[in-house]
Structure 1
Amino acid sequence: MRIVDIIQKKREKEILTDEEIRFLLENYQAGEVPDYQIASFLMAVYFNGMTTEELKVFTGTMIDSGETIDFPGVEKFLIDKHSTGGVGDKTTIALAPIFGALGMGTAKLSGKGLGHTGGTIDKFESIKGFKFSNSKEELIKIVNETGTGLMGQADTIVPLDKKLYALRDVTATVSSIPLIASSIMSKKLAVHADAIILDVKVGSGAFMKDLTEARKLAQTMYDLGKAFDRNIVCMLTNMDEPLGNAVGNSLEIVEAVETLKGNGPEDFTYLVEVLGAQALILKGDVKTLEEGIGRVKEVIENGEALKMLKKFIKGSGGNPDICDDYSLLNIAAETFEFNVDERGYIKHIDAEKIGKAAMMLGAGRATKDDIIDHSVGLIMHKKVGDQFEAGEALLTLYHQNNMRDEILETLRGAFVFSEEKVEKIPTILDMIG
C-alpha cells in the first residue's frame, strides 16, 4: 500500500477503504509519512469530502491515537455539552448545576480560552482559591456530590488531532466540514458520556458565520455520533450578537449566578432551559421540550440549581458566598459608558468586534501565553431589535484605566442602526436529532 495511491484515490473522489485510512493516519502519527503528503490528502478532503463511513474510520483512528477516559464510580447520567464557542458564552456555569439539581451530571475536559474571552476554566478561576480537579478520582468524587466535574485538557487525548490541526492551520484546510467534525467529535467520543449535546454557534461572533455551512457541520457531527451509537442532539444557536449581556470572566460568573436566581437575560435563560430540557429528553425522564423546560424552571425557582453551584464552588476550594456577595469577585472599579449621538433601533451587532473590544481590555488572550485579567469586560444594555435614545448607553465597559481610542473605534464598528423597528433574532435557529 502506497500513500500516494491513497491521495490519488481521494483526489479522484473514490471511497477509501478502512485499511487505507488507518494506514495513512497511523503511519503519519509514527512519523513515517511526511507533512507534504498529508497536506495533499487534507486538501483532497477539503474539495471532495468524506462519506460517513470514511469519517467514522478516520475519527476512530484519531481516538485510538491516544488514551480514552471513562469514569467508573460515577453514579450520574453524564451529559457532555459542547459549544463551538462564542462571545459571552458562559453556558456551562449555569447549566452544569442545573444538571446536578435534576439528578444528572457532566464530567468533561475543558480548556482555557484563546480569543475573545476566557474559556470555562478561566471564568471559574475568577473565583479566588478555585481549583479544578487534578485527577480522575477527584473529578468522580465532585461529580457524585454536585453533578459537576471539570478538568483541564489532557495532551494524551487524541494527540493525532493536535498534529493534524497544526498542519490544517498552515494549509488553508481548517474550514473543511468533515475535518472540523472529526476534530470535535474525536475528543467528545474519547471521553465517556451517556449523551452528547452539541451547541453549534452561528454568526459574526462564531467560527461558523453562515447558517447553511453550520447546518452541514451539525448534521455531519450528528451522523458521526450516531455512527458510534451515541445518544446525541445538535442545536444551532445565534451568535450574531453576544450571548446574554455580560462579556468578561468575573462579569459572566455574576450573570450565570443571576440566571440561577431567575434573573438572567432572556436569550441566555432560554438557551439554558432548552439545553437542560434536551438533556432530560436524552435521559428519558421527559418526552417533550415543554415538559423538560418546566423541570428546569422548577430547580431554578426552588433554589436547588444555585445550591448545586455553591457546593461545586466550595468543593473546588472557592468561596460560595460570591453567589450572594459579588464584591467578593474581582470586578474592575473603573467604568465607561459607550453611547452614540443618535436615536433608533439596533439592526445588527458584530459580536466578534464586541469580543475583540473585551479582549483589548484584557478579558481574553491573543496568544496562549497572555495573562487574562478576570476583572475586566463589558455589559450590553441594548441588543438587536432594542430601541435607544441619543446619549443612552449601549454598553458599559469595565476597565483598569486602559481605555484606548482603538477600543472605542472597534465598538463603533460593531453596531449597525436603523430608524425602523427591527425584529429580534431567535436564540435557537435549528435542532438536529
Structure 2
Amino acid sequence: MSYRVVDIIAKKRDGGGLSPDEIEFLVSSYAKGEVPDYQMSAFLMAVFFRGMADEELAVFTRAMMESGRVLDFSHLGNALVDKHSTGGVGDKVSLVLAPAVAACGAFVPMMSGRALGHTGGTLDKLESIEGYRTALSVSEVERVLRECGFVMFGQSEDMVPADKRMYALRDVTATVESVPLITASIVSKKCAEGARGLVFDVKAGGGAFMTSVDDARRLASSLVAGVRGLGRRGVAVVSDMSQPLGRLVGNWLEVEESVMVLRGAGPQDVRELVCVLGGWMLVLAGLAGDADEGASMLAASLDDGSAYDRFCRNVELQGGDVSWVEERMGRYRAEVCREFRAEHDGVVVSVDARAVGMAGVALGVGRSRVEDSVLPDVGVECVRKRGERVSTGDVVMRVWGRSEEVLDEVTDKLRSAVVVDTEDGDNVTSYDSSSIVIEVIGADKA
C-alpha cells in the first residue's frame, strides 16, 4: 500500500499514532531514496516533539533493521550476545568484555563504531594494533566468530542503511537527543548483527551523552523495551562517567590497559564494570543462573588467562600481531610528554571526564568530524583519580602528543580537569563512589 509522506508527517506532528503499515512504508521508501531528506527531517522533528508509543517504536526499529542485510548466526546456537555502550572517556570495556564472555562459552558478534566528539571508538582502538582489520566480509565475520568466539567489525554499507541516512540527518537537524530515535538507531544496528541478547551500558555523568542519572535511566528503559519489542532479551546497566574509566585515555593506551585487565590486573573500575556487564551477558546467553554467578565466571576468565588467550587468537585472526602488542606494552607513546603536578597536599575530589575527552580530541585521540583521522600513540594518563591522596609535587596527570604546540593547546583544559581538596583527607571515602554501577534496569525480566 502507498501513502502520502506529508500525511504521515502531519499525523505525527499532531500527536497521532502511526500504523505499522505507515511506518514500514516511510522507512523502506526512505532507505530506497524515494523519500527526500527534507521530508524525513520534518518527520524526525515531529518525533522529537511528540515521541513514539512503544508499539510504534518496535515497528520503526524493526523496519530500520530490515532496511538492509541482517546477519544470522543461529546455527551457532542461542548463546549469541553483545553489549552496547552509549560512549564515554576511557571506555575500553568492549576490548576486555568480548574475549572474556567468549572464554565463558558465549558467541559475541560485536559490530562497533568509531570515535566522534569526546567519546572514543572501539574500532579506532583496535586499529592502533598494527595490521588489525575491522572491515570484514560476512564470511570473515562468521569465520572469526566461529573460531574464537567473538569478532570485532564495523558496519557495512548494506547493513541498516535507513539508520545511516537518518543518523546524518539527526546530526544537522538538532534531533540527536530524542530518546525514541536514539533507541531505534542503537537497537536496529545491534539486532542486525545477529545477537539474541543485548546488555546496554548507559553512561551518566559529565563525560557521558546523558549527563544526568534520570536521563540515563529513561534511555536505559527505552533501550530495554526496544530490544524486547524485537523479541530479543535485554538488560541495561547505568554506570558512572563523571570521571574517565580506568587511567589511560587514547587509542593504543586503552588497548594496553585492556591487556592489563585481561591478564588479571589493571584498574579496578574497568574490571568491575566488565564483570557486571559480562555477568548479565552470560545470563542472557543461558550460561549463568544469575548475574553474580556470571560475574564470578567472568572474573575467573580474567584471572586464569583464558580471556587473554581469546584476545590473542582474535588479534591473529583479524590480521594483527600479538608479539607486536606485547613488545609495546608501556613503551608505545608519542614523542612529547608533559606532566601535571599537585600544587598542594590533599585528596583528588574530581577528574573532569569531558575535559579529558576534549583534550583527547585536540591531541588526535578522537574526531571533531567523521572524516577526521586519529592517532594511535597520543593520549592522557590519569595518574591520580577521585578519592586518592596526593602530596605537593606528585604527578596527577601525564599527556602525550606529537608536538609541543598541541600540548600547549590542551594544557589549560587538563590542568583544571583535576581538582584537589586541601583538607586532610579524613573524609576520603566521601569523594569516591563504592561502585561504578549506579543501577540495573530490566533485571526482573532478563
Once residues 30 and 232 of structure 1 are traced to their aligned partners in structure 2, the CA distance between those partners, rounded to angstroms, is: 30
* Cα distance change, pair 315–26 in 1 and its aligned pair in 2 (3 A): closer
Q: Which residue of 1 aligns with 2:421?
A: 418
Aligned equivalents of 1:30, 1:298: Cα separation in 2: 48
Tell me, yes or no, if the aligned pair for 2:301 and 2:307 is still in contact at 8 Å: yes
CA offset at residue 148 of structure 1? 1.8
Q: Alpha carbons of 1:53 and 1:31: their partners in 2 closer, same or farther (altered >3 Å)?
A: same
Contact 2:78/2:196, CA 8 A, preserved across alignment: no
TM-score, normalisation: structure 2: 0.91
SS of residue matched to 2:292: helix
State the Cα deviation string for residues 97-155 of structure 1 (Å, max 9, x = none): 11221111211322332233652222122222222362222222222222121222112
For 1:131 and 1:280, how far apart are their aligned partners in 2?
27
SS of equivalent to 2:49: helix
- Structure 2: which 5+ runs fail to align? none
2:437 maps to what in 1?
428
The residue matched to 1:335 in structure 2 has which SS?
strand
**Is the partner of 1:396 in helix, strand or coil?**
strand
User: What does 1:132-143 correspond to in 2, within 5 Å?
Assistant: 132=134, 134-143=136-145
Does residue 1:294 correspond to 2:288, yes or no?
no
Q: Which SS does the other structure have where 2:400 is aligned?
A: strand
Amino acid at match of 1:295: M
1:364 to 1:186, Cα distance in 2 relative to 1, 3 A = same
Q: Distance in 2 between matches of 1:142 and 1:27?
A: 34
Give the whole-Å Cα distance in 1 for the aligned partners of 2:127 and 2:36: 40
Paired residue secondary structure (2:347): strand
Q: 1:194 to 1:215 in 2, by over 3 A?
A: same
Residue 114 of structure 2 contacts residue 124 of structure 2 at CA under 8 Å; is this kept in 1?
yes
SS at match of 2:431: coil
1:400 alignment partner in structure 2: 402
Which amino acid in 2 is paired with 1:235? V
Partner of 2:133: 131
In the TM superposition, residue 333 of structure 1 has moved relative to its aligned partner by: 4.4
Q: Which moved more, 1:217-226 or 1:115-124?
A: 115-124
Moved more, 325-334 or 158-167: 325-334
The structural deviation recorded for 1:195 is 1.2
Q: Which moved more, 1:254-263 or 1:158-167?
A: 158-167
Paired letter, 2:438: L
Residue type of the alignment partner of 2:157:
D
What SS does the corresponding residue of 1:232 show, helix, strand or coil?
strand
What amino acid is aligned across from residue 83 of structure 2 in structure 1?
Answer: K
Report the counterpart of residue 248 of structure 1 in structure 2. Answer: 250
Q: Distance in 2 between matches of 1:375 and 1:138?
A: 28
Q: Is the 8 A contact 1:77 1:283 kept in 2?
A: yes
Q: 1:259 to 1:7 in 2, by over 3 A?
A: same
More divergent stretch after superposition (348-357 vs 421-430): 421-430
Decide whether the 8 Å contact of 2:205 with 2:212 is kept in 1: yes
Given candidates 365, 390, 393, the residue that maps to 2:392 is 390
User: 2:42 is paired with a residue of what secondary structure?
Assistant: helix
The one of 218, 221, 230 equivalent to 1:219 is 221
Which blocks of at least 5 consecutive residues in structure 1 are unaligned? none
Deviations 1:49-69 (A, max 9, x none): 110001111112212221211
Aligned residues: 433
Distance 1:431 1:117, change over 3 A: closer
Which letter maps to 1:404?
Answer: L
Closer, same or farther: CA 304–71 of 1 in aligned 2, 3 Å: same
CA spacing shift, 1:103–1:374, aligned 2, 3 Å: same
Segment drifting more, 138-147 vs 85-94 = 138-147
Q: Structure 2 counterpart of 1:374, which letter?
A: P
Rounded to whole Å, the distance in 2 between the matches of 1:416 and 1:272 is: 27
Rounded to whole Å, the distance in 2 between the matches of 1:366 and 1:383 is: 27
Distance 2:409 2:335 in 1: 21
Does residue 153 (structure 1) correspond to residue 155 (structure 2)? The answer is yes
**d(CA) in 1 for partners of 2:330, 2:140:** 26
Higher mean displacement: 34-43 or 219-228: 34-43
Give the superposition deviation at 1:409.
0.8
- Describe how 1:294-373 pairs up with structure 2 within 5 A: 294-322=296-324, 324-326=326-328, 330-373=332-375
> Residues 4 and 224 from structure 1, CA distance in 2 versus in 1: closer, same or farther, beyond 3 angstroms?
same
Change (3 A) 1:396 1:33: same
Q: TM-score scaled by structure 1? A: 0.93
Cα distance in 2 for residues equivalent to 1:311 and 1:32: 45
Deviates more, 1:227-236 or 1:279-288: 279-288
Counterpart in the other structure of 2:377: 375
**Residue 324 of structure 1, CA deviation:** 4.1
Quick one: distance in 2 between partners of 1:315 and 1:75? 22
- Quote the RMSD (CA, aligned, Å): 2.2
Task: Pick from 57, 60, 63 the counterpart of residue 59 of structure 2.
Answer: 57
2:146 corresponds to = 144
- Distance in 1 of aligned mates of 2:164 and 2:329: 40
Distance 1:138 1:274 in 2: 30
Structure 2: distance between partners of 1:267 and 1:234: 18
Q: How far has the Cα of 1:47 moved from its partner?
A: 1.7
Q: C-alpha displacement at 1:75, in angstroms?
A: 5.8
Match of 1:107, SS state, is strand
Moved more, 138-147 or 90-99: 138-147
How much identity, in percent, do the aligned residues show?
40
For 1:81-120, list aligned pairs within 5 A: 81-116=83-118, 118-120=120-122
1:261 Cα offset (Å): 1.5
Q: How far apart are 1:323 and its partner, in Å? A: 5.4
Contact 2:103 2:149 survives alignment (8 Å): yes
Q: Is contact 2:129–2:325 with CA below 8 Å preserved after alignment?
A: no
**How big is each residue's C-alpha offset from its partner over 1:219-267, in whole Å with a ceiling of 9 and x where there is no partner?**
1111111111101111111111111111011111111111112211011
Q: Which moved more, 1:382-391 or 1:252-261?
A: 382-391
CA distance in 1, matches of 2:77, 2:241: 35
* 1:74–1:331 Cα change, 3 Å: farther
Aligned 1:159-238 pairs, distance under 5 A: 159-238=161-240
Q: Distance in 2 between matches of 1:406 and 1:260?
A: 34
Q: CA deviation at 1:322?
A: 4.5
Q: Which residue of 1 aligns with 2:285?
A: 283
- Pair 359,40 (structure 1): closer, same or farther in 2 beyond 3 Å: closer
- Separation (CA, whole Å) in 1 of partners of 2:107 and 2:166: 32
